[in-house]
Structure 1
Amino acid sequence: MTNQELTYWVTLALMPKIWTKRKNEIYVNCFNHNPKISIIELFEEPSYWDELGLNDSEKELFKATYSQLANNSFLVEDMLSQGYDIIPLHSDSYPAILKKNLKIAAPTVIFTKGNKNIFREHSIAIVGSRKADEISLKFTDNVAKKASSENKIVVSGFAKGVDKQALDSALENGGKSIIVLPQGIMTFSSGFRQYYKEITQGRVLVMSTFAPQAPWRKELAMARNPIIYGMASDIFVAQSANNGGTWSGVIDGLRKKRSIYVRCPETNEANANSELIKKGSIPVDIHGDICKYVMDELEEDKQDEIIKAKIISILSAGPVSLKNILLKLKLEWSDYKMKKYLEMQQGIEKCKIKNRVYYSLKCGQMSLFE
């Protein structure tokens, strides 16, 4: 993609007073237009605006923002010269998991530094309080270690407590991580110095969805949380209060039918983990494995829903043998029972690799925001 095209994409992404969802809707209309309207034509050819459904207020905003193109051109050149990447929504490098989870609300442009291939790997997020209890930090450490051993990426919001523990545990155990910033990526200079080695080794990717030079602000930290959840295939909750970012993120994830695993709390813990489990989260123990004693108390339909979610999570990393599925699930099922169960699931298919039978998720054609 040319620097000129990136300049127009950055200008669209940083345009004030228009929600991200609406910017993406405008882009989709450009993409679906016959003939297709380029990002440059969107700004340079006002004659298209009526066809794209822009209202009078939006037309005025596009006219006003046009004056920012020169400044944004210098910004793009400066960022590229410093090794940053600018990834628009339609780019092949854009993380598919983010579009799948956030759909039309996915960030119009993301700014990164590091190994972009990390975006193509299976990822998990471990979330929780900045002032997490010791048991929650131990849980975080266990889950991050396990993820690293399974070549899964750990997504971190780089906050104190659970976020920082997840990042440190992943890197200490040879794993990889994505750092989702609550600020502009060009203001993370101290972090780039701290993780220079891991970034150059391809083990850390730093990303931001905010204006590149934006300083840390509380509202940006809150706006970053949906990105953390959106970047992960699986979400593990170490500790949650009954309000705040972790709670709202889990509730939103459950509403969207996401697989969310919540640590079963001890009887004397003062947190909302039990409430989140009652609302439909999957209960897991200190090692991140499904709590059998809690599972046994759930209704059969709920147990089946949890088993399906766990199997999908296991297969999302690639083909897995029947034996390994049973080992990872830790269910007291026979090979025959699991085989029949898998064959009944419409989204799962059997395949052969070197004459050995494996199971994998069926691959369908994905739409732009699927």
Structure 2
Amino acid sequence: MNATRAPDRELLARVLLSRVIEPGDEAGGRWLREFGAVEVARRLLKGSPRLAGVSGKRWAGLCARAARAEPERDLVAAGEAGVRFVRPGDTEWPAQLDDLGDARPTGLWVRGRPGLRIWALRSVAVVGARACTRYGAHMAGVLASGLAERGWVVVSGGAYGVDGAAHRGALAAGGATVAVLACGVDRPYPRGHTELITRIAQQGLVVGELPPGDHPTPSRFIVRNRVIAALTRGTVVVEAAHRSGSLVTARAAQRLGRHTMGVPGPATSALSAGVHELLRGEAVLVGDAAEVVELVGDMGELAPDRRGPVLPRDLLEPDARQVLAALPARGAATPDEVARDARTTADDAIAKLYELQSLGYVERHGEGWKLTRQALISAREGRERC
């Protein structure tokens, strides 16, 4: 919105409707699609004709809310708080939110300097349990900082637990983060995160569907999650019980065709049970930022190969490894015995034994050969790796 110009009718209508129609109300979204914001606002203010899809009682309630709305005042209050209203069709509007169909936000209140559309193009949601464990907080923070270091924007809900750890991880890495709130963006919630959300507004973005001063409710937290899912390329869930709200975000991401990922936890942890349920379905297991980026990023953004340490015996030629494996763990063996167990000739076995002796794997004892201490340690490490 240009502060030097008077707001247009469509803008005022959408600001009014952001105070009248609850987030995620598909009936309201259908009205907007069929009649446009100006006509819907006009009917609500006039009280007639009633729009389809709601009872007379509910229509009366919506009209009463419309009569109390003051869109000009909301815009002034927002401007004083450094908040702007972004609506569909604006340059800053993230087009991926249109995937929500009739559940698309009427508009978004945005606090912070960066452009929301540009930031959302390369963003990942990191969500999870409020009452998370130290492991959950650690994983959320490490994932978020790793994503931020790779140039990805970390999106979460500003709540306690995993959300807060994700925001802090991104900020600690000097990266970008977005908090999507279930209340007015001018009043941080939860109160204990006032300092964190203020810092996010200074370094990143705080976003919400509700107008200045509006308060959160349990249902608003749930419908807020669809915005987090739609705004980002994928959602990572770090710790979630079976009834966790973060699973709502993950399932919304799946319905929208976004990537869904989960960080596993102990099989005995109730806080990881919801994540494990996702992983048994279509979600992808991830353990670090590189694996997340490989899934949601562009072609060529691959995670490094996961391999165990290379042991010295791994560098031996196959024939030499076969001869080495033919030697007993205890005691010595003759070249004929080694050749038989290695399925080679005695001459080849002797040649390989002298080669292994030069490398410190075997030693000669009279007419026989035995493993050195180095070889025994290497064999034990190989067994532990299997």
- What residue identity is the alignment partner of 1:281? A
Match of 1:95 in 2: 94
Separation in structure 1 between the aligned mates of residue 168 and residue 71 of structure 2, nearest angstrom: 35
SS in 2 for 1:13: helix
Question: Cα gap change, 1:255/1:331 in structure 2, threshold over 3 Å: closer, same or farther?
Answer: farther
Match of 1:246 in 2: 246
1:55-86 per-residue CA deviation (whole Å, 9 max, x = no partner) reads 894876776555335x3322222222332101
What is the deviation of 1:196? Answer: 4.9
1:208-262 per-residue CA deviation (whole Å, 9 max, x = no partner) reads 1124212343333333222222222111111121222123332343344331111
Alignment of 1:67-78 (within 5 A): 67-68=67-68, 71-78=70-77
Q: How many residues align?
A: 293
What is the deviation of 1:186? Answer: 2.7
Whether contact under 8 Å (1:43, 1:62) holds in the other structure is no
Alignment of 1:130-141 (within 5 A): 130-141=130-141
Larger radius of gyration: 2
- What residue identity is the alignment partner of 1:328? A
1:105 lines up with 2:103 in the alignment: yes
Question: Cα gap change, 1:176/1:41 in structure 2, threshold over 3 Å: closer, same or farther?
Answer: same
SS in 2 for 1:86: strand
Question: Cα gap change, 1:27/1:145 in structure 2, threshold over 3 Å: closer, same or farther?
Answer: same
Match of 2:214 in 1: 214
Match of 2:85 in 1: 86
What is the deviation of 1:152? Answer: 0.9
Separation in structure 1 between the aligned mates of residue 27 and residue 256 of structure 2, nearest angstrom: 20
SS in 1 for 2:111: strand
Alignment of 1:221-370 (within 5 A): 221-270=221-270, 271-272=272-273, 273-286=275-288, 289=291, 313-315=296-298, 320=299, 324-325=300-301, 327-328=302-303, 330=305
Match of 1:303 in 2: none
TM-score by length of 1: 0.67
Match of 1:153 in 2: 153
- What residue identity is the alignment partner of 2:73? F
What is the deviation of 1:194? Answer: 5.1
Question: Cα gap change, 1:67/1:196 in structure 2, threshold over 3 Å: closer, same or farther?
Answer: closer
- What residue identity is the alignment partner of 2:158? F
Whether contact under 8 Å (1:79, 1:85) holds in the other structure is yes
Match of 1:13 in 2: 18
Which protein has greater RCO, CA pairs closer than 8 Å, 6+ apart? 1
| Structure 2 stretches lacking a partner, 5+ long | 308-386
Question: Cα gap change, 1:286/1:209 in structure 2, threshold over 3 Å: closer, same or farther?
Answer: same
SS in 2 for 1:115: coil
Separation in structure 2 between the aligned mates of residue 274 and residue 55 of structure 1, nearest angstrom: 39
SS in 2 for 1:142: helix
Alignment RMSD:
3.5
What is the deviation of 1:206? Answer: 0.7
Match of 1:117 in 2: 115
Separation in structure 1 between the aligned mates of residue 215 and residue 161 of structure 2, nearest angstrom: 21
SS in 2 for 1:130: coil
Whether contact under 8 Å (1:177, 1:204) holds in the other structure is yes
1:176 lines up with 2:181 in the alignment: no
SS in 1 for 2:30: helix
Separation in structure 2 between the aligned mates of residue 56 and residue 278 of structure 1, nearest angstrom: 41
Separation in structure 2 between the aligned mates of residue 26 and residue 218 of structure 1, nearest angstrom: 25
Question: Cα gap change, 1:132/1:286 in structure 2, threshold over 3 Å: closer, same or farther?
Answer: farther
Question: Cα gap change, 1:241/1:214 in structure 2, threshold over 3 Å: closer, same or farther?
Answer: same
1:145-194 per-residue CA deviation (whole Å, 9 max, x = no partner) reads 22111211111211111000000000000101111113222322976765
| Structure 1 stretches lacking a partner, 5+ long | 32-38, 291-308, 333-370
Q: Percent identity?
A: 19
